[in-house]
Amino acid sequence: MTAKLSRRLRVVAAFVFAVSWFAAPADAQWFTGRSGSSPSRPMVTIEILDVGQGDSILIRSPEGKTALVDAGPSRDAAAKLLKSKGITAIDLVVVSHHHSDHYGGMEPILRDFKPKYFVATGSSHTTKSYLKVLQVVKDEGITAVQPTAKPRKIELGSVTLTILPQPPENTKEENENSIGLRVQYGGFAMLLTGDSETDERRWWLAHCPELVGDCSILKLAHHGSRNGTDARWLELVQPDLAVASLAKGNSYGHPHSETIALLRKYKVPLLRTDQQGTITLVSNGETWNVVSSPLARRRAPRDDAAVAATRDDGPTRRPSRTPSRTR
Ligand SMILES: [Zn+2]
């Protein structure tokens, strides 16, 4: 079977899945209420936290291990959200790159949630407030881990985090020093690449295409900026869904219309924190789903064309690899 045919079958299966999901509100209720905690089918839960114009992504393994990738722009938003979810400790934190919309809330996370590991690059781009974050890492005795030119695997319970090889430092554009992270759980994969722009993504395409390819979900780099997504990237990643973290009415104009047009062209639906609030994704390693999306419960795609027509504002739910239900 050709890859294209296989993918087409997946899309058809996804549509069947979507219809069956919408036809079963009782199941939906069960699913929404028990995200990530099914006793029979352990799930990974990934939350794109609504922290405004920045990134903060919480990953929870089926075993309860936790990782936080970035901590948003404000000092308190990410910590407050974690506390509201009953989280008292984090195992590992990542600062994707040294811009404050990604580390602004990291200091209270380090102090209050006592992570064991702090993953960040050694990029020379720094600020007074980032140096303070590094000082807290030292004071709290947190183990600092830096990406290298080789991929590095971290086991978060049964979820594997692979830090992509890090390209040589770009001293002109800190976005290009973003850490790339592939989150893998069974056949489910999600790709997080901070605010990476074209050069860094091209470097990854050339050096580790196998770590970038075939991911169910793509977090758009750089909040949906036109320099955070391109055709080659989408063709290799082949996401079934894109997510973007950004604030409503942000001054950068994110997500840019070029990005939205590209996603539409490649028939990739987009969910945005400025429209949805926190986006919660769960997967049992075979299929995945979006939880607690009021719009998703309200609107069922009628067919593939309808899905394409609602790319920029309408959510969808698709199994990543098989048409079976997630229970
Ligand atoms: Zn950013």
Could you tell me the distance, in angstroms and rounded to a whole number, from the CA of residue 229 to the centre of ligand 1? 14
Could you tell me the distance, in angstroms and rounded to a whole number, from the CA of residue 120 to the centre of ligand 1? 15
Give the tens place of pLDDT for each residue, 254-288.
999 999 999 999 999 999 999 999 999 999 999 99
Query: Is the pLDDT reported for residue 12 higher than 60?
Result: no
Cα 192 from chain centroid (whole Å): 5
Could you tell me the distance, in angstroms and rounded to a whole number, from the CA of residue 315 to the centre of ligand 1? 23
d(CA 273, CA 261): 19
Question: Which residues, in sequence order, are CB contacts of 21 under 8 Å at separation 6+?
Answer: 27, 28, 289, 317
Give the whole-number percent of the chain exceeding pLDDT 70: 77
Could you tell me the distance, in angstroms and rounded to a whole number, from the CA of residue 247 to the centre of ligand 1? 11
Could you tell me the distance, in angstroms and rounded to a whole number, from the CA of residue 47 to the centre of ligand 1? 17
Give the tens place of pLDDT for each residue, 48-79.
999 999 999 999 999 999 999 999 999 999 99
Confidence of residue 293 (pLDDT cuts 50, 70, 90): low
Q: Is residue 274 part of a domain?
A: yes
Residue 327 burial class via C-beta count within 10 angstroms: exposed 0-12, middle 13-18, buried 19 and up: middle
156 touches 164 (CB < 8 A): no
Could you tell me the distance, in angstroms and rounded to a whole number, from the CA of residue 170 to the centre of ligand 1? 16
Q: Is residue 320 part of a domain?
A: no
Question: Tell me, what's the pLDDT at 41?
Answer: 72
Confidence of residue 40 (pLDDT cuts 50, 70, 90): low
Could you tell me the distance, in angstroms and rounded to a whole number, from the CA of residue 225 to the centre of ligand 1? 10
Q: Is residue 189 part of a domain?
A: yes
At 148, which amino acid appears? Answer: T
Query: Is the pLDDT reported for residue 24 higher than 50?
Result: no
Could you tell me the distance, in angstroms and rounded to a whole number, from the CA of residue 178 to the centre of ligand 1? 10
Quick one: which of 110, 77, 82 has its CA closest to 94? 110
Q: Is residue 326 part of a domain?
A: no
Could you tell me the distance, in angstroms and rounded to a whole number, from the CA of residue 99 to the centre of ligand 1? 7
What 224-227 contacts at long range (C-beta under 8 Å, 24+ apart), as own/partner pairs, is 224/254, 224/255, 224/256, 224/259, 224/260, 224/270, 224/272, 225/195, 225/197, 225/252, 225/254, 225/255, 225/256, 225/259, 226/256, 226/258, 226/259, 227/175, 227/197, 227/198
Could you tell me the distance, in angstroms and rounded to a whole number, from the CA of residue 197 to the centre of ligand 1? 11
Could you tell me the distance, in angstroms and rounded to a whole number, from the CA of residue 196 to the centre of ligand 1? 9
Give the tens place of pLDDT for each residue, 101-118.
999 999 999 999 999 999
pLDDT, average across residues 178-192: 98
Rounded to the nearest integer, the mean pLDDT of the chain is 83
Could you tell me the distance, in angstroms and rounded to a whole number, from the CA of residue 29 to the centre of ligand 1? 34
Query: Is the pLDDT reported for residue 122 higher than 90?
Result: yes
Residue 93: how many CA atoms within 13 Å on its side-chain side? 33
- What residues does 185 pair with on adjacent strands? 188
- Higher pLDDT: 267 or 294? It is 267
Q: Is residue 301 part of a domain?
A: yes
Could you tell me the distance, in angstroms and rounded to a whole number, from the CA of residue 73 to the centre of ligand 1? 9
217-219 and 188-192 beta bridge pairing:
parallel
Could you tell me the distance, in angstroms and rounded to a whole number, from the CA of residue 55 to the centre of ligand 1? 6
Instruction: Domain count for the chain, please give it.
Output: 1
d(CA 192, CA 19): 29
| C-beta neighbour count of 148 within 10 angstroms | 11
Question: Tell me, what's the pLDDT at 300?
Answer: 36
Question: Which residues, in sequence order, are CB contacts of 223 under 8 Å at separation 6+?
Answer: 53, 55, 195, 244, 245, 246, 250, 252, 254, 255
Could you tell me the distance, in angstroms and rounded to a whole number, from the CA of residue 195 to the centre of ligand 1? 5
Question: Tell me, what's the pLDDT at 298?
Answer: 39
Helix (H) or strand (E) holding 130: helix 128-139
Over the range 225-246, which residues count as b (16 or more CB within 10 Å of their CB) and which as e? bbbbbbeebbebbbbbbbbbbb
pLDDT, average across residues 9-33: 32
- Higher pLDDT: 311 or 264? It is 264
Q: Which domain holds residue 66?
A: 3-309
d(CA 24, CA 304): 20
Could you tell me the distance, in angstroms and rounded to a whole number, from the CA of residue 194 to the centre of ligand 1? 7
Question: Which residues, in sequence order, are CB contacts of 36 under 8 Å at separation 6+?
Answer: 43, 44, 45, 60, 62, 282
Give the tens place of pLDDT for each residue, 127-167.
999 999 999 999 999 999 999 999 999 999 999 999 999 99
Q: Is residue 59 part of a domain?
A: yes
Could you tell me the distance, in angstroms and rounded to a whole number, from the CA of residue 7 to the centre of ligand 1? 32
Q: Is residue 57 part of a domain?
A: yes
Could you tell me the distance, in angstroms and rounded to a whole number, from the CA of residue 39 to the centre of ligand 1? 36
Query: Is the pLDDT reported for residue 30 higher than 70?
Result: no
- Higher pLDDT: 321 or 293? It is 293
3-state secondary structure of 257: helix
Could you tell me the distance, in angstroms and rounded to a whole number, from the CA of residue 297 to the centre of ligand 1? 30
Could you tell me the distance, in angstroms and rounded to a whole number, from the CA of residue 288 to the centre of ligand 1? 26
3-state secondary structure of 113: helix
Q: Is residue 327 part of a domain?
A: no
Could you tell me the distance, in angstroms and rounded to a whole number, from the CA of residue 95 to the centre of ligand 1? 11
Residue 39 sits in a domain whose CATH number is: 3.60.15.10
3-state secondary structure of 58: strand
